[in-house]
Structure formats: C-alpha cells, structure tokens
C-alpha cells in the first residue's frame, strides 16, 4: 500500500517530464540533444525529490524520535539515539523512493537499471549500518543491566553484526551481477573452503566466544592470569576478536579468545566471590636448632599467653602416657617429649586463630612439610577476610613479620644461605 502511494506521488511529480522532450524540440533543439537534455532534467528532478524525501525522513524519524526520547523514562531509546540507529533507518526511505521513482522519471534502460541497482545497494547499506549501530546500542544497554553487566554479551551482538555484514556482502554481489540471493548462496559451496580460510580468526573467535559465554568461563571485570601471553590483571573487554586485560602495571595485554579455550588460564573470580583470599607461605627452619624442651624452656614458654594452657594440657597427657608405659624419663629417647618446633607450631596456630584479619570460618592450618637440604619448612595455610590486593599483602606481611621475629624465642633459627660476611676466609696452608 505504501509502495503504491509512493509510486502515485512520484508519477504526479514527474508528469511534467513527458512534455519536456517535446518542449525542447519546439525550441529548436535536435532530437538527439533534446533526448540528452530530457534525461538530464529528469535525473535532476529525481535527485531533488530524493533529497527532499531524505530531509523529511531524517526530520521525522531521527529528529522527532530523538526529541521524544529525551522526555521518556526509558534508557534504551536514548542509547539508540546516541548510536544513530534511527538516523540510519531514516536513510532507507529515500532509497526506496529513489528505487520506485527511477523507472517513472527516466526512459533510458541503461540509466534505469544502473540507478535501480544503486538504490538497492544504498538500501542494503543503510540496513547494515542500522543493524551494526543497533548491536552497539544493545551491547551498552545490556552491559548496564545487573544480570548481564559481567557477562561477555558483546560477543553475541558482534556475532549478529558479522552475520549482517556477511549477508549484506552477498546481497551487494547479487545486485551487482544480477543473480538471485539464493542462487548465489547455493553456488558458494565450492568456495566455502576459501571463505573458512579467510575468516579463520572470526570463526575461531565465534566458537571460543560462545564457549566462554555459555560456560561462564570469563566475565568483564574478572581477574585472570595467562602466563603464556604475560597477562595478569582485570578483564576490560571481551569481544569476538580479542580479550583485553589491563595488567596491574596498567599495561594492556590482548589475548585471542580461542587461546583462552585451547590453552590454560587462571580465573580468580572464585577467590573473589569466596569468604577470603588464601595465604599459603612457608618459612624454613634450620634443623640443627630443633631439640627437646627442657623444664626451663617450658617454664619460659608458659609465660606466653597463647601457650600456657596448651603446654599444661600437653604435659599432663605426656606424663600420663609415660607413666602408663613405665618409661625411664632419665633417658630422653624414652617416651614422649615436647619439642621446641612443636611448641612453635602450636603458638603459630593459636596466633592465627586469634588474629582479627584471618577468616576463622575457613581453613586455618600450620603444618610441617618434607625436610630438604635447606631445612624443614613450616607452612602457614589460612585465609584473609578481605580480598583486596593491597589489604591482602599488608596482612600477609604483618603476620610473617611477627613469625620471623618470634622464631628465636623458641630457640630456633630460620635458614638462609650464608652471605659473604658470614663466610670466614681461611688461607690455604700447605
């Protein structure tokens, strides 16, 4: 119905065209020149008509809708105006008018065919631009929505844009060579291998992006570590072609999406969503400083508030065990004895359990690891309450400052390789 109305109005406008040729002949022009002038005047009137329609459509569709969007409470229409979606849609109307008016205004078959193809190409181009702008607008809309703000929604809309460009490119080709769209698609089967090779990165990005999105492997804002690409920071953007990571030194690392699927990467989201951030660090004790506790040592350790009850309870348990088994306590190898490293481990356990910055609802453990040529490792395994990086490092440093300083109080020594100052030079004597 709209098409008939446009055709009727265009016919009325170009009704004057029919008399131009005869008028030029009456003015004394030759038939050839009059024919050329007739075409030029008709083209001029055609372009004037399309220009007027374009101005009207842009005013009605773009300006008026943009003005209305300012007074609505919805956000989506403002974003659509910001990305000029309505402006690109408005360009479709003059393209349709140009296509319908061309066979009425012009008589030359050559110019009619040429202008009709140009009009169709312009309409397809306007539609593609509108779809591309709409995908950007929708990406921004969904990124501001709570349910989708952390999800790689951009990948989905980029896929829609790529499909639109692909269909648009086929449409351009079908219009230019005057072959139907379906026939052209069917004939492209033989060249599909070449297309796959050309669009290899896009296809890999599409598959990887879909896997990342559907499996919730990656979100915008996640802290990830990709050692192969030197990436260690927060994800700023997840797109069809790249994942942008802002490292903690403020450099940007770009990682292909398919690399995150085919290779290994570490996502710290689970830690950030949990009740605390883990600290797992060891100190190495010199094994030559480990010994049984003497009564004097136990009396000294009892003065430490964290250890008084522990030492009394442990001594009582050990005494009952040794008496029941009738061990000769004069020999240290007989029975059970407390050691300075055991009391040290008990102190660290009590210290962590009472520390205000440690999450006591999660695992807190002090354990002894396999001895090595460097000594015996005492590992502290616990979680901080807050996951913030600076806070986490401060808590970790404060705890290990205390642990390192308290080690000599238990007659233990921390192992370290001797420095040049500690090595005594002895001259060679023959």
In a domain, 375, yes or no: yes
What pLDDT was estimated at residue 316?
92
What pLDDT was estimated at residue 420?
59
* Mean pLDDT for all residues in the chain: 80
Last residue of a domain, one of 116, 134, 149: 149
What pLDDT was estimated at residue 297?
93
pLDDT digits (tens, 9 = 90+) for 381-421: 999 988 888 888 999 999 999 999 999 999 999 998 876 55
In a domain, 68, yes or no: yes
Last residue of a domain, one of 123, 149, 175: 149
What pLDDT was estimated at residue 10?
47
> Which residue segment(s) compose the domain that 115 sits in?
2-149
In a domain, 168, yes or no: no
Same domain, 9 and 145: yes
What pLDDT was estimated at residue 370?
92
What pLDDT was estimated at residue 376?
94
Last residue of a domain, one of 96, 124, 149: 149
The total domain count for the chain is: 2
> Which stretch of 97-111, 273-287, 357-371 has the lowest confidence by average pLDDT?
97-111
Q: Using alpha carbons only, give the angle 20, 24, 26 rounded to the nearest 5 degrees.
A: 115
> Is 90 exceeded by the pLDDT of residue 178?
no
Which H, E and C letters describe the chain, residue by residue? CHHHHHHHHHHHHHHHHHHHHHHHHHCCCCHHHHHHHHHHHHHHHHHHHHHHHHHHHHHHHHHHHHHHHHCCCCCHHHHHHHCCHHHHHHCHHHHHHHHHHHHHHCCCHHHHHHHHHHHHHHHHHHHHHHHHHHHHHHHHHHHCCCCCCCCCHHHHHHHHHHHHHHHHHHHHHHHHHCCCHHHHHHHCCCCHHHHHHHCHHHHHHHHHHHHHHHCCCCCCCCEEEEHHHCEEEEEEEECCCCEEEEECCCCEEEECHHHHHHCCCEECHHHHHCCCEEEEEEEEECHHHCCECCHHHHHHHHCCCCCHHHHHHHHHHHHHHHHHCCCCCCCCCCCCCCEHHHHHHHHHHHHHHCCCCECCCCCCEEEECCCECCEEEEEEEEEECCCCHHHHHHHHHHHHHHHHHHHHHHCCCECCCCCCCCCCCCCCCC
In a domain, 303, yes or no: yes
Highest mean pLDDT among 9-13, 241-245, 316-320: 316-320
More confident residue, 251 or 105: 251
Tell me the CA distances in angstroms from 343 to 116, 162, 229, 321, one per residue in order. Answer: 92, 67, 45, 18
In a domain, 302, yes or no: yes
In a domain, 376, yes or no: yes
CA distance 321 to 329: 12
In a domain, 192, yes or no: no
More confident residue, 163 or 147: 163
pLDDT digits (tens, 9 = 90+) for 190-238: 566 666 666 676 677 777 776 776 677 888 788 899 988 889 988 888 8
Span 13-22, mean pLDDT? 51
In a domain, 380, yes or no: yes
More confident residue, 290 or 327: 290
């Amino acid at each position: 119905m709209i098409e008939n109305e446009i055709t009727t109005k265009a016919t009325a406008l170009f009704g004057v065209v029919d008399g131009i040729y005869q008028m030029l002949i009456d003015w004394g022009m030759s038939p050839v020149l009059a024919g050329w002038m007739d075409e030029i005047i008709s083209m001029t009137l055609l372009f004037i008509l399309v220009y007027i329609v374009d101005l009207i459509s842009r005013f009605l569709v773009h300006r008026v809708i943009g003005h209305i969007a300012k007074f609505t409470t919805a956000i989506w229409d403002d974003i659509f105006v910001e990305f000029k979606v309505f402006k690109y849609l408005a360009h479709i109307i003059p393209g349709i008018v140009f296509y319908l008016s061309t066979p009425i205004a012009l008589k030359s078959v050559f110019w009619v065919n040429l202008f009709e193809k140009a009009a169709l190409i312009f309409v397809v181009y306007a539609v593609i631009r509108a779809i591309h702008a709409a995908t950007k607008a929708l990406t921004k809309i969904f990124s501001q929505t709570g349910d989708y703000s952390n999800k790689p929604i951009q990948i989905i809309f980029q896929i829609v844009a790529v499909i639109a460009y692909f269909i648009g490119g086929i449409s351009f080709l079908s219009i230019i060579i005057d072959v139907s769209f379906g026939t052209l698609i069917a004939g492209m089967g033989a060249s599909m291998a070449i297309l796959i090779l050309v669009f290899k990165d896009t296809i890999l990005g599409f598959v990887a992006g879909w896997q990342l999105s559907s499996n919730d492997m990656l979100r915008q804002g996640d802290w990830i570590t990709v050692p192969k690409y030197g990436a260690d920071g927060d994800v700023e953007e997840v797109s069809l072609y790249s994942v942008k990571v802002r490292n903690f030194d403020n450099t940007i690392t770009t990682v292909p999406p398919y690399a995150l699927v085919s290779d290994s990467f570490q996502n710290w989201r689970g830690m950030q969503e949990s009740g605390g951030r883990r600290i797992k660090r060891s100190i190495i004790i010199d094994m030559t400083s480990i010994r049984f506790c003497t009564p004097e040592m136990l009396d000294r350790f009892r003065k430490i508030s964290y250890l008084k009850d522990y030492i009394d309870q442990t001594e009582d348990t050990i005494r009952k065990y040794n008496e029941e088994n009738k061990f000769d306590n004069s020999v240290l190898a007989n029975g059970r004895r407390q050691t300075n490293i055991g009391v040290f481990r008990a102190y660290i356990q009590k210290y962590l359990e009472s520390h205000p910055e440690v999450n006591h609802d999660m695992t807190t453990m002090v354990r002894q690891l396999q001895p090595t040529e460097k000594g015996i490792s005492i590992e502290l395994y616990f979680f901080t309450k807050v996951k913030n990086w600076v806070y986490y490092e401060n808590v970790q440093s404060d705890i290990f400052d205390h642990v390192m300083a308290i080690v000599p109080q238990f007659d233990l020594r921390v192992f370290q390789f001797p420095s040049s100052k500690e090595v005594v030079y002895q001259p060679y004597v023959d």
